[in-house]
Amino acid sequence: MVAEITGLAQARRHRPLSRLLVGLFSAMARTLAAIGLYGVMAYMVSQRRREIGIRVAMGAAPSRVVLQILGSGAKLTLAGALLGLVFSALVARLAERLLFGVRPFDPATYSSAAAVLCLVAGIACVIPGHRVTKMDPVKALREY
């Protein structure tokens, strides 16, 4: 009985360190996911540079072009978010022991993570898209 109490006390003593480590690793994972997502979306926009140049040269409104880029990025982002939510729900039971104060299927946690990554993807589409629409269309056509 005394050994059980001692083991419980030791486990409770290490709990704050475990929380800190899990929190740090989850913050790093979210940051790396956001950076990777931004890079993929910015690359997607840069690959469409010539198409955007043609659209602007033909008289398309830059705001319309940015909205079209945002729409195509949103489709990819929503597909990725749905896949991520499904896979994270499958893995949640395996990580249940590491979760402190959160249920394995906590809707607030899932929705906040998806919302942050969707926001990053939106920014990643709008900023390069806006930058490309400000470029001279003739220069965009001559690059390739």
Task: Say what the pLDDT of residue 49 is.
Answer: 81
What pTM was computed for the model? 0.68
Q: How confident is the model at residue 55 (pLDDT cuts 50, 70, 90)?
A: confident
Q: What is the pLDDT of residue 73?
A: 87
Rounded CA separation 83/33 (Å) = 14
pLDDT reported for residue 14: 61
Residue 90 has pLDDT above 60, yes or no: yes
Q: Supply the pLDDT for residue 83.
A: 92
> pLDDT digit string (tens) for 101-144?
667 777 888 888 888 888 888 888 888 888 877 878 777 777 76
Share the mean pLDDT of the chain. 80
What pLDDT does 122 receive? 85
pLDDT of 24? 92
**95, pLDDT greater than 80:** no
* Predicted confidence band of residue 79 (pLDDT cuts 50, 70, 90): very high
Q: Looking at the predicted structure, is the pLDDT value of residue 70 above 90?
A: no
